[in-house]
Structure 1
Amino acid sequence: MSTDTTATGTTTRVSGGPQDLRDIELDVTGMTCASCANRIQRKLNKLDGVTANVNYATEKAKVSYPADITPEQLVETVEQAGYGATLPAPPRSTDARHPAEGDPATDAASPEDAHLASMRQRLIVSAVLSVPVVVLAMVPPLQFTYWQWLSLTLAAPVIVWGAYPFHRAAWTNLKHGATTMDTLISMGTLAAFGWSLYALFFGTAGVPGMTHAFEFTVHPGQDGASNIYLEAGVAITTFLLGGRYFEAKSRRTAGAALRALFDMGAKDATVLRDGREELVPIESLSVGDEFVVRPGETVATDGVVVSGSSAVDASMLTGESVPVDVTESDAVTGATVNVGGRLVVRATRVGSDTQLSRMAKMVEDAQSGKADIQRLADRISGVFVPIVLVIALATLITWLVIGGGVNAAFTAAVAVLIIACPCALGLATPMALLVGTGRGAQLGILIKGPEVLESTRTVDTMVLDKTGTVTTGTMTLDDVVPAAGEDAARVLHLAGSLEHASEHPIARAIAAAAQQKSDLAEVSGFENVAGRGVRGSVAVDGASVQVVAGRPALLTDAGLTIPSDLDTAFDEAQRRGATAVVVGWDGAARGVLVVADAIKPTSAEAISHLRDLGLMPVLLTGDNETVARTVADEVGIDEVIAGVLPEDKVDVIRRLQKGGKVVAMVGDGVNDAAALAQADLGLAMGTGTDAAIEAADITLVRGDLRVAADAIRLSRRTLRTIKTNLFWAFAYNVAAIPLAALGMLNPMIAGAAMAFSSVFVVANSLRLRGFAPLTPSAEQQEHRDDQ
């Protein structure tokens, strides 16, 4: 796969199939409902080799297209469908979204802001004009002579100008032989307005002194030419404008988490060039450049510390509240904040390759995709409007045939058109997905696609890789057992000084622990005995001590005796799966150092949380049974599968699946990638390898296993929210259409109820922003206590 950067933005070429495909994301304008998104999607998919996914909530179209089709042709296709589309802007910075300083885009309102301002103006004017019309129609005592003509004067601008977006969309689709939800709205309001004009100018509704009462239901037998429906037309328009405005505003609020990810990146970097510090725009950084990060500054891009030591606050990126200490050779991530000393960092990844950009891309992809449950809603929305038009026509004819009168027939038919508009149906899934994935990004949980949500519902088994997942993945000193009469600190100091000369992971663990206690001594005559240990001369208090550290056989060959208590300590360490190193000098062994892959302090709590979610934890490892069982017992796992080769992990997952289990797996290494892909749900530690992250469905940015439980909880809650939204939308339409057809709903009440259903779906989805992790950080807990 390769990436092309052109004047029209960044496209990704995916090779290996029948033909090369490129991916692009278009910003789509003019959509007013889910039916619009379906229409655009169908048009694009009719092009040879094109696969498109149009999302109404995010107003974007993700398109894969062959090389013989240009992006401009895709835009033209969208425009032919009656909508607008724009190509992505050229990349200008690390995240390809920050305009450079002085860019006119920074001085003008964004298109989204301008659209919201226009909608707000239309809503306010329509509301001000509508209130007197509705009040006069609902309160007969206020109906003075010629009140109906004042109502017409006030209502005409609302129905013509205020509802213009609905009329324009309906006409655009009509020209292409399509019907959408706007068709229902436009037909309903224009029918109410047209009938009122007929009644006023050609019927008896315009005579002086005419009054009529406001009714929630229709009454058969009334003279249709004596009634006007101006209050229904203006109220429907105002309610729907309000619903659309608050939908648009809420969508922007829901996407705040993703925008916050993009905004976290630094705008400038202080680069070292020819020994001088030079401030340059972030987009000028290249791999290999060295840049300075002072205390309080944001790390410009991913890199490795060249000099200096400090603490880095990664809470905005990972959700982890405790700053991480970094020194030379340690990796740092762009968008984290330096809270300590001065650092010089060498850039290793820039632009779209940085962790921040990759995180944001994963969130965008998840928000733009569609789950099976959403595809069902889209299919229903696609056929819903024609069915409603048939029902409305049938309602009109039925009322006339049974002698209900023109007034009753017309009122019931208009109510059907208005109440049936399934805007809530189109918003149900994408709104919940937008908010849920955004909240996940804030907590360090990156959900790769919407279908992942449906997987979490049925998962009953959680397979956990041991190294790097349940354990830290690095060897650390676990215990120091001194011989009788020996000082543990002296044993560690001499062993650590000797082992400091070795590069072996066990030696590094001992040396690091000793270095934390005291400065290490100088070593001379160092010798590494392959597979057995090390020996050398350690300078202590002006004297030289010959120290041997390693397996018991090495010390025995060197003439050192091993006391029985140290033999027992060595055997006990081996029995529980740890690595034991015997240390001796001056003719005898002086202590045993126990080194092990330390269990993460949060792993036991995480396992408890997984059990609470109804999941059975299984420990999967290539280590021997003894080591695996020791770790499992400490964290509370009953099921252990040990001694598994990396290539056999996939077979273990398949065997569990054949046994009827729905399997999730958490891993972090290259050897876990295939198993993560095979599992029904794969979760990768963000501290792991790129291969594991690419194969997984969910990425846990922090290396904390507790976040896996939060990921399952958030996914399940998002799915529950989607189902609640869909139930409301379906139940609302199923219950309301018959009521309207039976004449039990005034069109104005129907319009208010329809608008409320969309607002309800949006508000219900926004509740996901309050999702709290099981184990909040100290800052989150303090904030919660303040509230």
Structure 2
Amino acid sequence: MTKLNSNLFSTPLLLPAIKQSFVKLHPKILYKNPVMFVVAVGSLITTLSILSDLFSNNYENLNFTLQISIWLWFTVLFANFAEALAEGRGKAQAESLKKTRRDTQASIIDLKTKIMRTVSASTLVKGDHVVVNVGEVIPSDGTVVEGMATVDESAITGESAPVIRECGGDRSAVTGGTTVLSDKIIVMVTAEPGKSFLDKMISLVEGAERKKTPNEIALHILLCGLTIIFLLAVVTLKPFALFQNTSVSIVSLIALLVCLIPTTIGGLLSAIGIAGMDRVLQRNVIAMSGRAVEAAGDVDILLLDKTGTITVGNRMATEFFPCPNVTVDELAKASLAASWFDQTPEGRSIIKLANELHAYFQLPANSIPIPFTAETRMSGVDTPSESFRKGSMESISSWVNSLGSKLPEEVLANVTKISKLGGTPLVVAKGSKALGVIYLKDVVKPGISARFERIRAMGIRTIMITGDNKLTAAAIASEAGVDDFLAEAKPEDKLDLIKSFKKEGLMVAMTGDGTNDAPALAQADVGLAMNTGTQAAREAGNMIDLDSDPTKVIEIVEIGKQLLITRGALTTFSIANDVAKYFAIIPSLFLASIPSLGIFNIMHLASPESAILSAVIFNAIIIIILIPLALKGIKYRPRSAMSLLRYNLVVFGLGGVIVPFIGIKMIDLIINAFNLI
């Protein structure tokens, strides 16, 4: 999938965001953000005041009112711009998905004439027949009507072993996006036009609900409360000014109100929430709501499937078990020969293991490769003098039986032993003689232990869930470094485990892709379903991973924490800089009538008009400056809640007080240097 430009202000995102900044001035959109709605109303009143002065030929305060009005409108537009820019990345992702749909090709065949033609997968309709060859992706959900093949459906089944799909019976259904590993099949499309899984993904990207989270709702209530308090306070300043024989215009009071209410966080709050969702979207994960992203930031327990998450997915050759009177070198050479033309990950791992044991085999000329097929379930090579085969116990047993021999008891014992350990046994034969067994096992992903250490540093407990027996599960859990594991897990076991944690008041995240994961995904606070998983799993989760990489749940947790930290930090900064703006405006307004306020006139601004305009300009500029921080988020580092609180108070609290003092004073000096008032 095409990745989005990482530059926040790239042209494809910037121009539509500028347009949406004006579209979002519509009252039906603005009222959802009470703080910016107040600013917009104030902007409208100051604009009407300008028109009134023009019609009455009153030019005395026109310059001041005009500049205040311009900067108030800019404040609203920049807040809208931040929100539109965050939303724009989601729309760009939808366009990327549409391009993927257009670029996917399918080979349609007419079953009567056998004529084939290549079309875009997006044009397929129900009833079309498509030919899918080895290595090709099945373009749409459908049913196999001709042939038999092995298909990689690991993300759907949760198992690394390929599955057989054939016409007729219960094994004929195939899912769009899965890959054919052997043979050729003809698939009849069963998806309705416009209702393919990719179409559903595009719909989810473009129309995902961005519901407010409880944390965000609480913050909105706080901002509304502060806005009402300051509105009442500013309204009472008018009669107070009249009592003190001080002239305070409506424009000045509106500017004061805009500066005192928490406009900074009010302007960036929507962008922060949307950016959290879009940040996971940049990793090709669709969050169905902001609630899911925020919940990820509070996760206490992380449940992970073993296959594909903790292990590499494809099982790798780790050991040779030769029969009596057969050396390891002899078995390794035969395995090397049988895997010579095998390009699967398992086949390559057998060759690698044989090479590590210094096995040597020179393939004679005129050798005939025997490819793996779903029917024979074995592969190998026929040289001019020998035949080498490797495959399942049943297939090799049939092979040697056809040559007048049978599998030794030692082979059967090793097959049983490997199976009990949760591995996959492959039997190797040279002609009619079985030489031994190859042990394919799950291999823990490199670096996964370090990632779990990072998760542990966040205070999150990791639990591996697997259908393997306890012995295999314990070995893999120990090697991977998870805190605990649940072996031989059934769907109800996963569900009961999540319920027990939630009864303790813990937040639970889980990854899943199969129908049997659906109940647990629905129960978890964060349910990450795989794109290529079953429909039941996708509908049950509140996040969908388009790349089907279950390890992304670790990144999602970090993004959730980053969202919470960013919102808290910018809220602290916003409230703190209101304090500085208070000391900038109030003393300047009433210093003439109340000389005792001089003690609070710390900035010594040139005039009341200059003080008000400087504060309004700073109020607008600070939103612009903080847009990149709101969209990118503050970098997350594992730390305790108390440490984080101290950091916010020192950096964003103290900084929120100091920065406006410096900024407003500098703007005041510039205003007076250029005689703008």
Equivalence for 1:231: 63
Q: Which amino acid aligns with 2:612?
A: P
2:484 to 636, 639, 645: 639
Equivalence for 1:725: 570
Structure 1 CA distance, aligned partners of 2:65 and 2:391?
94
Structure 1 CA distance, aligned partners of 2:280 and 2:193?
23
Equivalence for 1:263: 95
- The number of equivalent residue pairs is 540
Shift of 1:650: 0.9
Deviations 1:312-361 (A, max 9, x none): xxxxxxxxxxxxxxx99997659x9xxxxxx9997665765344443444
Shift of 1:437: 2.4
CA gap of 1:392–1:770, structure 2 versus 1, over 3 A, is: closer
CA gap of 1:408–1:583, structure 2 versus 1, over 3 A, is: closer
CA gap of 1:188–1:380, structure 2 versus 1, over 3 A, is: farther
Q: Is 2:39 the partner of 1:181?
A: yes
Equivalence for 1:691: 536
Structure 1 CA distance, aligned partners of 2:527 and 2:127?
34
Structure 1 CA distance, aligned partners of 2:17 and 2:466?
56
Structure 1 CA distance, aligned partners of 2:38 and 2:252?
20
Alignment of 1:534-545 (within 5 A): 541=384
Equivalence for 1:400: 242
Asked whether the equivalents of residues 476 and 598 of structure 1 are also in contact (C-alpha less than 8 Å), the reply is yes
| Greater fraction of residues in strand | 1
Q: Is 2:279 the partner of 1:439?
A: yes
Q: Calculate the TM-score normalised by the size of structure 1.
A: 0.55
Q: Is 2:603 the partner of 1:758?
A: no
Asked whether the equivalents of residues 317 and 439 of structure 2 are also in contact (C-alpha less than 8 Å), the reply is yes
Shift of 1:675: 1.5
Deviations 1:203-241 (A, max 9, x none): xxx8xxxxxxxxxxxxxxxxxxxxx43333111122233
Structure 2 CA distance, aligned partners of 1:276 and 1:553?
41
Equivalence for 1:458: 298
1:448 to 280, 288, 296: 288
Structure 1 CA distance, aligned partners of 2:78 and 2:379?
75
Equivalence for 1:390: 232
CA gap of 1:553–1:487, structure 2 versus 1, over 3 A, is: closer
Shift of 1:423: 4.6
Structure 2 CA distance, aligned partners of 1:584 and 1:279?
42
Equivalence for 2:456: 611
Q: Is 2:236 the partner of 1:419?
A: no
Structure 2 CA distance, aligned partners of 1:711 and 1:537?
44
Structure 2 CA distance, aligned partners of 1:695 and 1:482?
47
Shift of 1:399: 2.4
Asked whether the equivalents of residues 142 and 175 of structure 2 are also in contact (C-alpha less than 8 Å), the reply is yes
Structure 2 CA distance, aligned partners of 1:113 and 1:547?
59
Structure 2 CA distance, aligned partners of 1:608 and 1:650?
26
Shift of 1:620: 1.9
Equivalence for 2:19: 116
Structure 1 CA distance, aligned partners of 2:431 and 2:581?
93
Structure 2 CA distance, aligned partners of 1:567 and 1:114?
67
Structure 1 CA distance, aligned partners of 2:434 and 2:108?
52
Asked whether the equivalents of residues 304 and 332 of structure 1 are also in contact (C-alpha less than 8 Å), the reply is yes
* SS of the residue 1:607 aligns to: helix
* SS of the residue 2:41 aligns to: helix
Q: Is 2:121 the partner of 1:286?
A: no
Shift of 1:407: 1.9
Asked whether the equivalents of residues 21 and 77 of structure 2 are also in contact (C-alpha less than 8 Å), the reply is no
Asked whether the equivalents of residues 337 and 381 of structure 2 are also in contact (C-alpha less than 8 Å), the reply is yes
Equivalence for 1:243: 75
Asked whether the equivalents of residues 363 and 446 of structure 1 are also in contact (C-alpha less than 8 Å), the reply is yes
Structure 2 CA distance, aligned partners of 1:355 and 1:579?
32
Structure 1 CA distance, aligned partners of 2:175 and 2:368?
25
Q: Is 2:370 the partner of 1:370?
A: no
Q: CA RMSD in A?
A: 5.7
Equivalence for 2:335: 492
CA gap of 1:382–1:457, structure 2 versus 1, over 3 A, is: same
Shift of 1:685: 3.2
Asked whether the equivalents of residues 421 and 469 of structure 2 are also in contact (C-alpha less than 8 Å), the reply is no
Equivalence for 2:660: none
* SS of the residue 2:247 aligns to: helix
1:748 to 601, 613, 621: 613
Asked whether the equivalents of residues 668 and 687 of structure 1 are also in contact (C-alpha less than 8 Å), the reply is yes
Equivalence for 1:44: none
Shift of 1:394: 0.5
Structure 1 CA distance, aligned partners of 2:496 and 2:334?
46
CA gap of 1:482–1:751, structure 2 versus 1, over 3 A, is: same
Equivalence for 1:708: 553
Deviations 1:675-714 (A, max 9, x none): 1222232223334333223222333333434422221122
* SS of the residue 1:677 aligns to: helix
CA gap of 1:453–1:429, structure 2 versus 1, over 3 A, is: farther
Alignment of 1:90-169 (within 5 A): 116=19
Q: Calculate the TM-score normalised by the size of structure 2.
A: 0.63
2:307 to 447, 457, 467: 467
Q: Which amino acid aligns with 1:372?
A: P
Shift of 1:489: 4.9
Equivalence for 1:36: none
CA gap of 1:290–1:236, structure 2 versus 1, over 3 A, is: farther
Structure 2 CA distance, aligned partners of 1:770 and 1:681?
21
Shift of 1:183: 2.5
Alignment of 1:476-625 (within 5 A): 477-483=317-323, 484-485=326-327, 487-489=330-332, 491-492=334-335, 520-521=369-370, 541=384, 550=393, 573=418, 576-580=421-425, 590-600=435-445, 603-604=448-449, 606-625=451-470
CA gap of 1:543–1:585, structure 2 versus 1, over 3 A, is: closer
Structure 2 CA distance, aligned partners of 1:291 and 1:649?
38
Shift of 1:628: 0.6
Q: Which amino acid aligns with 2:331?
A: A
Q: Is 2:519 the partner of 1:677?
A: no
Structure 2 CA distance, aligned partners of 1:488 and 1:450?
56
Structure 2 CA distance, aligned partners of 1:762 and 1:535?
59
Percent sequence identity over matched residues?
23
Structure 2 CA distance, aligned partners of 1:646 and 1:355?
25
* SS of the residue 1:375 aligns to: helix
Unpaired runs of 5+ residues, structure 2, are 1-11, 147-164, 167-172, 180-184, 353-362, 590-607, 638-677
CA gap of 1:332–1:604, structure 2 versus 1, over 3 A, is: farther
Shift of 1:372: 2.0
Shift of 1:644: 2.8
Asked whether the equivalents of residues 297 and 559 of structure 2 are also in contact (C-alpha less than 8 Å), the reply is no
Structure 2 CA distance, aligned partners of 1:169 and 1:460?
41
Asked whether the equivalents of residues 386 and 430 of structure 2 are also in contact (C-alpha less than 8 Å), the reply is no
Deviations 1:221-266 (A, max 9, x none): xxxxxxx433331111222333344445544443343232232324
CA gap of 1:256–1:305, structure 2 versus 1, over 3 A, is: farther
762-771 vs 508-517, which moves further: 508-517
Structure 2 CA distance, aligned partners of 1:118 and 1:577?
57
Equivalence for 2:664: none
Q: Which amino acid aligns with 1:752?
A: I
* SS of the residue 2:572 aligns to: helix
CA gap of 1:346–1:740, structure 2 versus 1, over 3 A, is: farther
CA gap of 1:357–1:377, structure 2 versus 1, over 3 A, is: farther
Equivalence for 2:632: 767
